[in-house]
């Protein structure tokens, strides 16, 4: 999943504000789910809600306005009621070109931030419930 | 209603991003409603939803990170199903002091932006309904 | 320019919050500029900044989480120092399918919101300056 | 530091979106700094920038639209170039009243989320630099 960093997502220091990454991760795991043939919108209509219980982010290098970034999301575990993801936010294009590997402002692997999250499955009233079988690990 | 401009609300040009004003106006009219003794949260629990149908903003001078601004909201009309508001976004403190009246970056009346909005009253399903009598004009 | 409505962009009423449209319009005009072969990021590096002075939105029907919407942006005029745009926010996919033309929740032309904006050209210090010749009308 | 949860900060599940907490934490540590007599805006004007390198959040119970919450921020360590904070997001008012201690939707200590962050000190170009002496631990 790729997205272009919006002007509104950047701050006076000229880089993407650290809060902007959080909706990107959400979009990353949403698109990952879509590849299984089910959308989160469908889950909600069936009374299955996933709420975040834990989130960790490590910011290695800033990304900037108009950068094209790739959000790489992975399911790394979970249980009958929880799902764990990890994420990489990788720079794929800056100023209309592939990132320059000799630029010290960019990590050599292009990964500018890493993150992990834990989601819990709840019903419409916020009470814990089991994940649908095909989602549980 | 006063608020301090958040870092996350500012953009690479160093000023509050123009989208940041929109939640401020919402907070302004919400606090205006609260002064009548009713909160918007209560209205929603009674099945009264106010959705925005029209919004206009004029940006005269930028406000900046850490500025203290005052949102002045007024009901200026409406009907059985609509409410119209106007707003002023006034600078009241910059760099810990009252704004300098000789500073050309600040309008002489301190009003950095003006706005207006139109809200329509709908039920939970988004269908038009009459405003509660005490709210209608 | 198409985008999918993010969960974080929606509100307790279940629809895209009215403030979420504002960054979409910015992204729309940014992508329109890119089609001319110049990016806004390049303009800023050359000391050309475009600041918004006026914004108007009309919300006809709500768009929802996971909707795919198209932002149609047009330059409609301007001057030596100003540019005017109009926009349409059109629904192109809901629940994984083209919008149902018989659904009263969707306008028959699919256009859920319209908007217009006025941008002024300023230098790094916020002082008015002429637009680059190729941008001025 | 107290703030009221904005409508725009809440999501279709009816609670504050998990990304909304991130600017609250930033506002919490900013206000904590202000109590020392220095503002972050002043630091930036002196070429001292604090960028976030690590952020962790644990969400225990949701907070809702119009809740009044208290952001409790603490400096818990650091070094010559880093500062570490912890945070509690505590509910202090819901529906116009103190939270009901028998309500299972609210933790008994009112603390709905906890968080920690690490900031690094950099210069205007993003290069590491020492914290001003009075800020370093």
Cα D18 off chain centre by: 13
Q: How many folded domains does chain B comprise? A: 1
User: From edge to edge, which strands make up the β-sheet containing B68-78?
Assistant: B2-4, B68-78, B82-93, B111-122, B49-59, C49-59, C111-122, C82-93, C68-78, C2-4
**How many Å apart are CA D99 and CA D80, to the nearest integer?**
41
**pLDDT above 70 as % of chain B:** 99
Q: Give Cβ neighbours of residue B96 (< 8 Å, ≥ 6 apart).
A: D39
Over residues A67-74, the mean pLDDT reads: 98
Q: Which residues contact D1 (CB under 8 A, 6 or more apart)?
A: D27, D28, D31, D32, D70, D71, D73
In contact, C112 and C60? CB cutoff 8 Å = yes
pLDDT at C137: 65
SS3 label, residue C102: coil
Chains in contact with B, where contact means 3 or more Cβ–Cβ distances below 8 Å, are: A, C, D
Query: Which pair of structure tokens corresponds to residue B31?
Result: 């606090």
* Side-chain half-sphere exposure of A42, counting CA atoms within 13 A: 11
Q: What is the model's pLDDT at position C68?
A: 97
Pick the closest to residue A5 from A113, A119, A107 (CA basis).
Answer: A113
What distance in Å separates residue B35's CA from the closest CA in chain C? Answer: 23
In a domain, A137, yes or no: no
Residue C135 lies in a domain: no
User: What is the chain A residue with the closest CA to D41?
Assistant: A12
* Residue D98 in tokens: 């103190």
B interface residues, D as partner, C-beta within 8 Å: 4, 6-9, 22-23, 26-27, 30, 39-42, 65-66, 95-96
Phi/psi for D60 (5° steps) reads -95, -50
Question: Which residue from D77, D55, D54, D64 is spatially nearest to D15, judged by alpha carbons?
Answer: D64
DSSP B31-94: HHHHTTT--HHHHHHTT-EEEEEEEEEEE-S--BTT-EEEEEEEEEEE-SSEEEEEEEEEEEEB
Residues of A with CB under 8 A from a CB of D: 12-13, 18-19, 22-23, 26, 44, 49, 51-59, 62, 105, 126
Q: pLDDT tens digits, residue range A6-35?
A: 999 999 999 999 999 999 999 999 999 999
Closest CB from B4, B26, B42 relative to D6 = B26
Domain-located, residue D45: yes
CATH number, residue C96 = 3.10.129.10
Strands A68-78 and A2-4: antiparallel
Residue D93 lies in a domain: yes
Residue C113 lies inside a defined structural domain of this protein: yes
Nearest to B113, CA basis, from B98, B85, B91, B84: B91
The answer to whether position A103 is within a domain reads: yes
What is the maximal distance between C-alpha atoms in chain C? 52
Q: Are A63 and A117 in contact (CB under 8 A)?
A: no
Segment C91-136, tens digit of pLDDT: 999 999 999 888 989 999 999 999 999 999 999 999 999 998 888 7
Give the separation between CA A86 and CA A78, rounded to whole angstroms.
12
Q: Is D134 within the bounds of a domain?
A: no
Q: Residue C52: inside a domain, yes or no?
A: yes
* CB contact (8 A) between residue A57 and residue D59: no
Residue C116: strand, helix, or coil: strand
pLDDT of A137 over the 70 cut:
no
Q: Calculate Rg over the CA atoms of chain D.
A: 17
pLDDT score recorded for residue B109: 93
Which of A59, A87, A113, A119 to mutate: most D Cβ within 10 Å? A59
Decide if pLDDT at A55 tops 90.
yes
- What pLDDT band is residue A131 in, cutting at 50, 70 and 90? very high
* Predicted pLDDT at B133: 83
- Prediction pTM value: 0.96
Show the tokens assigned to B13.
């040009």
Q: Decide if D112 contacts A53 (C-beta within 8 A).
A: no
Could you list the pLDDT tens digit for every one of the 137 residues in chain D? Answer: 999 999 999 999 999 999 999 999 999 999 999 999 999 999 999 999 999 999 999 999 999 999 999 999 999 999 999 999 999 999 999 999 999 888 989 999 999 999 999 999 999 999 999 998 888 76
CA distance A124 to A122: 7
Per the structure, the complete domain to which residue B81 belongs is given by 2-122
Look at D7 and C11 and tell me if their CB atoms are within 8 Å: yes
- Phi, psi angle pair for A45, to nearest 5°: -65, -20
Please, are residues A40 and A46 in contact by the beta-carbon 8 Å criterion? no
**Reported confidence tier of residue A123, pLDDT bands at 50, 70, 90:** very high
Pairing, β D49-59 against β D111-122: antiparallel
- CA dist., res. A114 & res. A24, Å (int): 12
ipTM of the complex: 0.95
Q: What average pLDDT does this structure show over A27-56?
A: 95
Return the DSSP state at A109: T
pLDDT number for residue D101: 83
DSSP for A43-71, please give it: HHHTT-EEEEEEEEEEE-S--BTT-EEEE
Percent of chain A with pLDDT over 90: 88
Please tell me which chains touch C, using 3 or more CB pairs under 8 Å as the contact test: A, B, D
Torsion of CA B107, B110, B115, B121, to 10 degrees: 180
Determine the Cα–Cα distance for residues B23 and C57; give it in Å rounded to an integer.
15
Which chain B residues touch D66 with a CB distance below 8 Å?
Answer: 30, 39-41
**According to the model, what pLDDT value does residue C9 have?**
98
């Amino acid at each position: 999943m790729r997205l272009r960093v919006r002007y509104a997502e950047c701050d006076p220091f000229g880089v993407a504000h650290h809060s902007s990454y959080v909706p990107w991760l959400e979009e990353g795991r949403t698109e990952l789910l879509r590849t299984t043939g089910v959308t989160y919108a469908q889950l909600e209509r069936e009374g299955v809600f996933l709420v975040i219980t834990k989130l960790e982010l490590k910011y290695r290098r800033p990304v900037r306005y108009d950068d094209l970034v790739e959000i790489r999301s992975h399911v790394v575990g979970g249980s009958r009621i929880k799902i764990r993801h990890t994420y990489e936010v990788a720079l794929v294009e800056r100023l209309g070109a592939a990132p320059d590997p000799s630029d010290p402002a960019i990590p050599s692997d292009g990964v500018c931030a890493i993150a992990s999250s834990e989601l819990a499955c709840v019903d419409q009233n916020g009470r814990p419930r089991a994940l649908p079988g095909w989602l549980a690990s």
